[in-house]
A and B are shown apart, each in its own frame.
Chain A
Amino acid sequence: MSLFSGLKKLPLPWQRRGSAAHCRPISLVFSQFRAVLKANNQALELIADMGEKLSGEYLFDQRYVDSIVEELIGAMHRSIAAINTLTENRWTSLTPIFAGLEARVRAIASHRDDREGPPILWLSEISSRDWPLIGGKAAHLSELMANPQVMVPEGFVITTRLFHDLIDHNDLRADFARFEKLAAAGDDQEKELEALRASLEQRMLVASAPPGFLVTLEAHLSRLAETSSAPLFLAVRSSAQEEDMDFSFAGQFHSELQVLPTPNAVFAAYLAVTASLFGAKALRYRRQVFPEGGPLSIAACCQRMVSARASGIIYTEDTMAPGRQIMLVVGAFGQGQAVVEGQVPTDLFRIKKGENPQLIESTLAVKDQAFFAAGPEGGLAAAGVAPAKAGEPCLPEEKLLELARIAVHLEAFFKRPQDIEWTVDENGELSILQARPLLLTERNQEKKPLSEKLSTYPRLAEGAGRIAQQGIGAGPVFKVETLADLKRFPEGAVLVSLRDSSQYIQVMQKAAAIVTEVGTPVSHMSTLCREFKVPCLVGVPGIYTMVADGEEITVDAEDRCIYRGRVTELLTYQAATAMNVQMAPEFRMLRRIIHEVSRLNLVDPLMQEFRPEGCKTFHDLLRFIHETAVLDLVEIGRDERCLHGQKKLARHLALPIQAGILAIDIGGGFAEDAPADNIPFSAIRSKPFRAILQGMLFPGAWHQVGMPVSFADLMHSMLSTPRDALSGQYTGHNIAIISDSYVNLCFRFGYHFNIIDAFCHEVERDNHIYFRFLGGATDIAKRSRRASLISSILEAFDFSVRTRGDLVIARTGNLVQSEMERTLDILGRLVGFTRQLDVQMADEAAVSRYSEAFLMGDYGIVAREGGY
C-alpha cells in the first residue's frame, strides 16, 4: 500500500523563490499579507451569505442574485491580485483559471447554462451540476439511479446542448427567440404565435443532425447494447427544463417507446420528442401554469425498455383523501403507457403507509387487454390476455408491498408526496421509470382558513429557533444523543437532538425533519440540510425534553411551529402549494451558483491536486491563495537575508511549557508594550492564538516527560517519513503567524507535523478553524491509530474530518466567538495530549480508551498508562 500516494512533494523554500529575490520591508509584506486575508474573508463572507439565503427564510429576488454574483467576482479578483502582490507575481496562472470558473458562473447567471456541456450524458454519470442540461425528469432519474434501494433502467440523456445546436444548425434561432418572446407575452399576437409554433414543430420534425452527432449517438447505443442481455429497445421520453419541477407537465410532451437501437431511429424519436415542445397542447399548458414564461429547452431521456410483465403508478398519498396515510397503486399487465393514458382496465390497491406497509384493499378488474412489444421492428401492440389470467391481480401482494416500501423511501428521499411510475419485468424485478412530486389540491368543502384549522392542534413550540431549511415535515420522533444512534434511524422519522452536527448527513435522506436545541443556520449541518432539502429548525429551546421517542410531531419550518401529532392539513397544504419555493427559478439559479463556488475539493496543501489547476470552485481558489500566502510569509520570515537590518521578526514565547514557539506578529497579535523577545502569555492579544495556548497550558494536558521511543519505531520513522513533505520549511521551530484575530500555527514536534489555521473575531461567519496532523515517530499502525484517535475527538466537537493513513484534516467554522475560543482551547489540549501518544497506541482498543478519557477531561491517562 502506498501510504503517501496523493501526497505531493513540496519544493523546498530555496527552490521556490529565486535566489535573486530582493527583500521588501517587512511592514510592507505584512500589509500585503493582510490584504490577502481581507479579500479572502470578503469572498467567503459573500459565499456564506448566498448559502444562508437558500434556507427559504429570506425573500430575495433576481437583483440580489445579480448583484451578489458581481460582488463575489470582484472580491475574487481582489484576492488574486493580492496574492500576486504578496508573492511578486508568482501566481499569475490563477487569472486564466479563475476566468474559466467565472465564465461558468456568469453562464448560470445569464440563463445560458443549458447551452454549455456535452450533447449526451450517461444517466449514471450525471452530477447535480449537469442538471441545467438534462431537464427535470432526467435529473430525478439520475438521483434515483444513485440510490442503491432503487432500480432504474440504464440509459443516457440527449441534453439541451444538442437542442440548442439543433436550433442553430437548422437556422431556427431567430424564430425560436421570437416564439419564446410571444409565448411569454400577452394574448394580442395569437395568430403570429400559432403560425410560428406550427412551423417550428414541422421544421423540428425534419431537422438535420449537427455534424458528428449521429456517430456519438451510435457509440452510446453500442455501449448500451453490450450491457443488455435481452434484445435492446429504447424508451425515448421528454425531459423539459421545467418538467417535474414547478409543474408536472404530465403527458404534455411526446414519448416514443420500443424504439429500435439504431442512430437513425433514435434520432427520429428524439426529433418527435423535441418537436412536441412546440405542440399546441404543450404551449397551452405552459402558458396556463407558467404565465410569466422564461425560456424553455428540452432534453430527451433514452433508456433501455424493460420487458414488462406488469406496470403502473403509485401515489404516496390518496389524492382524494390526503393525509390519511394511504397510498394508491394502479396497475395493469404489460407496458405502463396504456395505464397512464387510460387505455386499459386497471387494478386498484390501497396500502396503509408506514415502515411496514399493509395492503388494505384490492379492487381487481378484468384486464383482458395489455400492451406488449410488437416484434423485432419495434413498437408496442395490444394483445389479448387469457381469460383465466385476466381477473388475477397484476402484482402479487409481496411485490405490492415491496413497491410500497420503495415509495415510502422515495417520499422521504424527495421530502414530498410522490407520483411514481413503476414496472416489473418477467423475472419479477421491480424498476422505477419516473418519480415526480404529486400535486394535491385542497378539498373545497374545507373553506376554513388554514390558520384556524391549525389552532386546534397542541403546539410544542411557537416562533422558536431559526430556520436552517424551510419546509414542513412530520413523523415519529427519533432522539439522537450520540452519533451511534444514527445507525438505528428509521425511514421518515424526525430527528431531535440537543446540538447540531454535520454527521447527521448520514440520515438526511431518511429524515422528515430535523430539530435541534442549539445551532445556527450557517453551520455545516444547515448547509447540508439545504442540500438535502430537509426541513430544519435550529435553536429551539427545551424541545429535546418535551418530546418522547416514537411520538409523532409535525415541524413547520416556515412559521417556526412544532405541533404534537400529525397535522394533515399542513402536509396537504405543502403538497398543494403549486410553487415549491425550492423550485423557483431564482432559487434554482442561486443553488447552481453556490454549487459552482462553494464546494471545497482542494482540502490540503500536501495533496497532489493542491495547485492552481486543481481548483474547481471559487472556494478552492481561496483556499489555495490562503495557504500560498501563509507559506510565503513563513518563508520570508525565515529568510535571514531579508531580515537583515530589520527589527527581530520571529519572537520567542516564554511559556511555562517547553513548546519552543516563535511568533511573527503581523498586526495586533502582541500587546503594544510587549518585550522585544521572550514574550509572556499575558502579552498575547491574538484571540485565537491565546485560546490555543490556554488549552496547551491547561493543567495536565501537556506532558513534559519525553516518552521512550523504541528502536524499531525510530528506524521506522527515519525510513518512512516523507522528508520532502515534512522537513524544509519548518525545521527547528514551531512558528506562529498571528494578528489580533488570526493565527497560523505550524508545529513540528519530533516526527509529526501539525497545523492550526484559525480566524476568530466577533463576526461569526468569518470564523474558521483548519486543523492538519500528519506523521509520527512510530510504525504506521500506531500512527494511524493516533490519527483515528484525533479524528474521533474532533468529530465529537463537530469538525468535519477526513483521514488518510496518519493524515488528519479537519475543518469547522461559522461559530460565535466564545464557541470558537472554547474549540481552540480544546485543540490546544489535544495538541498537548496527543503529542507523543502514538507510542502508546499499542492496539485498536487504545483508540477508544484514550478518546473517551480525553472527552472526559482525564488527561492523566497518558502518564498512568505510559508508566511514568
Chain B
Amino acid sequence: MTQEICRLLVVDDEAIVGKRLKQVFSKIGFEIETYTEAAPAMNAMAEKPFDVVVTDLKMEGMDGMEVLRRVRSMNPRTQVIIITGYASPETAELAQEQGVFEFLAKPFRLDELKQVIYRALAQQKGGE
C-alpha cells in the first residue's frame, strides 16, 4: 500500500464524519474526497473512480443503498462500505446481494474502519 495512493470517497450528511475521516486518512497518505450529499459525490465518482467508497445509509435524497447500486454499476472494482446507526436485517441482506463489502455500525472506532478499508483494498488486489 506504500506505492499506490488509494482514493477514498466519503458520503455522509453529517459534516463531522467527512471532516474526521479526512483528517485521519489524509494523514496516512490516502487521497480523500468528502461529501454531505450523494448526488455531487456520484458526479465525482463518474469523473474519476475511487478505490473505496464509505457511505452513510440514511440520507435525504439519495440514500446509501442507492449509492451502493450506482457505484457498483459505474465501477464494479470499487468497494463500498456502509456506515450506519441502524440497519434492519432486511437492509443488510439486500446490501449483501448488491455487493456491499461491509456494514459498520456507528459509532465505531476509527481503527476499525481503517482495518476494514485495508481488507477491502487487499481483496480488490487479490481479485485483479
Residues of A near any B CB (own CB < 8 A): 53, 57-64, 67, 292, 449-452, 558-560, 573, 577, 579, 581, 584-586
Contacts and interface: CB of A to CB of B under 8 A. Distances in A.
A449 B27 CA distance: 8
Given A58-B108, A63-B106, A450 B29 contact: yes
Interface in B74-103: 83, 85
7 contacts: A59-B109, A60-B106, A60-B107, A450-B26, A451-B29, A559-B28, A560-B111
Contacts of A577: 23
Interface string B4-37: 0100000010111101110110111100000010
Contact of A59 (B5, B20, B26, B27): B20
Contacts of A62: 14, 16
B113 interface: yes
A581 B27 contact: no
Contact of A292 (B15, B20, B29, B111): B15
A59 B23 contact: no
Given A58-B110, A59-B110, A558 B17 contact: no
Contact of A58 (B26, B27, B28, B109): B109
B23 A58 contact: no
A451 B3 CA distance: 11
A577 B113 CA distance: 21
Nearest to A56: B110
Contacts of A57: 109-111
Contacts of B26: 450
B24 A61 contact: no
A619 B72 CA distance: 48
A59 B105 CA distance: 10
Given A63-B85, A67-B85, A452 B108 contact: no
B16 A584 contact: yes
Nearest to B14: A61
A581 B15 CA distance: 12
Contacts of A584: 16, 19-20
B57 to A, nearest CB: 11
B85 A64 contact: yes
B45 to A, nearest CB: 22
Given A450-B28, A451-B28, 10 more contacts: A57-B111, A59-B113, A63-B106, A64-B85, A292-B36, A449-B29, A450-B26, A579-B19, A579-B23, A584-B19
Give 10 nearest A-B pairs by CB, closest first. Answer: A60-B107, A451-B29, A61-B14, A449-B29, A58-B107, A292-B15, A64-B107, A586-B16, A451-B28, A63-B85
Nearest to A587: B16
A574 to B, nearest CB: 10
Contacts of A451: 27-29
Nearest to B21: A59
Contacts of A581: 20, 23
A592 to B, nearest CB: 16
A110 to B, nearest CB: 16
A449 B21 CA distance: 16
A67 B86 CA distance: 11
Given A67-B85, A560-B111, A61 B16 contact: yes
B16 A558 contact: no
Nearest to A580: B23
B58 to A, nearest CB: 9
B108 A59 contact: yes
Given A59-B17, A584-B16, A584-B19, A558 B27 contact: yes
A63 B12 CA distance: 12
Contact of B14 (A63, A449, A559, A579): A63
B93 to A, nearest CB: 23
A558 B110 CA distance: 9
Given A584-B19, A586-B16, A61 B27 contact: no
A64 B83 CA distance: 13
A54 to B, nearest CB: 11
Nearest to B83: A59
A190 B88 CA distance: 43
A63 B29 CA distance: 29
Among A63, A292, A585, max chain B CB count under 10 A is at A63
B24 to A, nearest CB: 7
B27 A64 contact: no
Nearest to B115: A463
Contacts of A449: 5, 29
Contacts of A585: 16
Nearest to A58: B107
Contacts of A450: 26-29
Contacts of B15: 292
B52 to A, nearest CB: 16
A573 B17 CA distance: 20
B89 to A, nearest CB: 19
Contacts of A61: 12, 14, 16-17, 85, 106-107
Contact of B24 (A53, A67, A558, A586): A558
Contacts of B28: 450-451, 559
Contacts of B36: 292
Nearest to A67: B85
B106 A59 contact: yes
A577 B85 CA distance: 28
A853 to B, nearest CB: 44
B41 to A, nearest CB: 16
Contacts of B16: 61-62, 584-586
B30 to A, nearest CB: 9
B107 to A, nearest CB: 4
A64 B106 contact: yes
A558 B21 CA distance: 12
Among A58, A61, A63, A573, max chain B CB count under 10 A is at A61
Contacts of B109: 57-59
A573 B83 CA distance: 27
Contacts of A452: 29
Contacts of A60: 106-107
Nearest to B108: A59
Nearest to A574: B27
Contacts of A63: 14, 85, 106
A292 B106 CA distance: 22
B107 A59 contact: yes
Among B17, B21, B23, B27, max chain A CB count under 10 A is at B27
Nearest to B28: A451
B103 to A, nearest CB: 15
A694 to B, nearest CB: 36
Nearest to B22: A579
A151 to B, nearest CB: 36
B108 to A, nearest CB: 6
A59 B36 CA distance: 16
A58 B111 CA distance: 8
